[in-house]
Amino acid sequence: MSNPPSGAASFVKTSVKQPYIWAIAALVLLLIINLIKDPSYLGISVNAVTGDLSGNLIDILRASAPIMMIAVGMTLVIATRGIDLSVGSVMAVSGAVSMEFMHDAGDGSLGSALMAIALALGISAFLGLINGVLVSIVGLQPFITTLIMMLAGRGLAKVITSGQNTSASNEFFRWIANGTVLGFPVVFVIGAVIVALVALLVRRSALGLMIESIGINPKAARMAGIRPVGLLIFVYILSAVLAGVAGIFSTASVMTVEVAKTGFSSEMDAILAVVIGGTSLAGGKFSLTGSVIGALLIATLDKTIVFLAIPSSATPAFKAIVIVAICLLQSQRVRALFSQRRARTSTPRKEAVSA
């Protein structure tokens, strides 16, 4: 998205060089597999009365919205050389808070829906603040901090709902997941708007550059006068708030929070989307566009597995294979194998593995 739009031809040229071109290829491949299985897979029908679009592609857009949210947050966290393993649990907490609030309010009004959203996002932001403070000020390793938050957050969600799967009824809240705007699902529209806002924020200000500089070389960034504390707290809060939004998305569609299942293993989806999008797990340069494409790919993968009648509980195995393949492609050793020339000109340097 940082490419200057100077003609369609050059845009195509630069796109092909992007690391996420493989993700797009994989996406197309998955769609072709589905198309072979069912030739009418890509059909989109328009409801004549309401103007709503429906079809498998629209379902994929709908399913990709929560993944998109956590993937964007995760992208910024990973860019600072961090990781946020707590996104799935924050989703559960956010869903639990909103469901419990609307269940107690019981009036199904717009006011209680807005209040529930505000509460859910507020508590998510607070959990993100704890992560951020522990990482930046106390100096704990990001993965252990967020691992603890993953553990405690899941427990917190269970305590909030007393271990029960809580349901509530609220038409306005439900509209978020099941409604449509101009024919498109509301979740996807809200998701796209949020992604656009975050992209504007980090790319049209110096924020993105500063986040990248922390990831590329924390010492040099500090010497250049960039204070990491505030930036780190910001990215962890943003990641948690976006996870909160994802939690609202995924609970609103069924109006039930399943404390053990909502957001379970979503952190894997988010990490996967980020890595597919070409952002290195070692931090530094990030690509929000890539992460969004990664999220779309994961949603398509989920749908394809269900469509091909493979048990959906086996999905993690496929995702694991994808992430291993990408990690292998990113590694120095495999790249050296692929391009002998690079191996000859630059001595293969062994990077210290830092968690």
Partner 1 sequence: MTSVIERPSAPQSPHTPSLVNRLKPNLETLPTLAAIVIFVGMIIYGEIAYGRILQFSTLSNLFINNAYLIILAVGLTFVILTGGVDLSVGAIIAISSLVGVMLANSGWNPFVVIVLMILIGSAFGAASGILIQYFNVQPFIATLAMMFLARGLASMLSTTPERLADESPIRTLSTEIKVIDGPKINDLVTTPNVIIAAVVVIIAFYVLHKTRFGRTVYAIGGSEQSATLMGLPVVRTKLAIYIISGTLAGLAAVVYTSKLGIAQNITGVGWELDAIAAVIIGGTLLTGGAGFVLGSVIGALVLGLMNVLITRDGSIPPEATTIITGAILLVFVLLQRLVVSRKRKT
Using CB under 8 A, pick the residue from 33, 125, 129, 143 that binds partner 1. Answer: 143
Q: Does 152 bind partner 1 (CB under 8 A)?
A: yes
- 18 vs 280, beta carbon nearer partner 1: 280
Number of H helices and E strands in the chain, helices first, is 16, 6
Asked if 98 and 115 count as a contact pair (C-beta separation under 8 A), the reply is no
How far apart are CB 166 and partner 1 at their closest, in Å?
13
How far apart are CB 295 and partner 1 at their closest, in Å?
17
| Residue 182: both structure tokens together | 């101009």
Burial state string for 197-207 with b = 16 or more CB within 10 A and e = fewer than 16: ebbeebeeeeb
Using CB under 8 A, pick the residue from 35, 105, 158, 254 that binds partner 1. Answer: 158
Q: Does 315 bind partner 1 (CB under 8 A)?
A: yes
Residues 6+ apart with CB under 8 A from 163: 259
Q: Does 22 bind partner 1 (CB under 8 A)?
A: no
Tell me which residue has tokens 């290829």.
25
Residues 6+ apart with CB under 8 A from 300: 27, 30, 31, 60, 64
- 194 vs 323, beta carbon nearer partner 1: 323
Q: Which stretch binds partner 1 (CB under 8 A): 4-12, 18-26, 37-45, 152-160?
A: 152-160
How many beta carbons lie within 10 A of that of residue 44, not counting itself? 11
Q: Which stretch binds partner 1 (CB under 8 A): 69-77, 156-164, 205-213, 289-297?
A: 156-164
How many beta carbons lie within 10 A of that of residue 218, not counting itself? 15
Q: At CA 30, angle to CA 83 and CA 11, rounded to 5?
A: 75
Give, as ranges, the residues between 205 and 264 that touch partner 1 (CB under 8 A).
Answer: 218-219, 222, 228
- 57 vs 216, beta carbon nearer partner 1: 216
Asked if 20 and 294 count as a contact pair (C-beta separation under 8 A), the reply is yes
Q: Does 201 bind partner 1 (CB under 8 A)?
A: no
Give me the residues that bind partner 1 (CB under 8 A), please: 83, 134, 136, 138-141, 143-144, 147-152, 154-156, 158-159, 162-163, 218-219, 222, 228, 265, 268, 271, 281-282, 311, 313-321, 323-324, 327-328, 331-334, 350-355
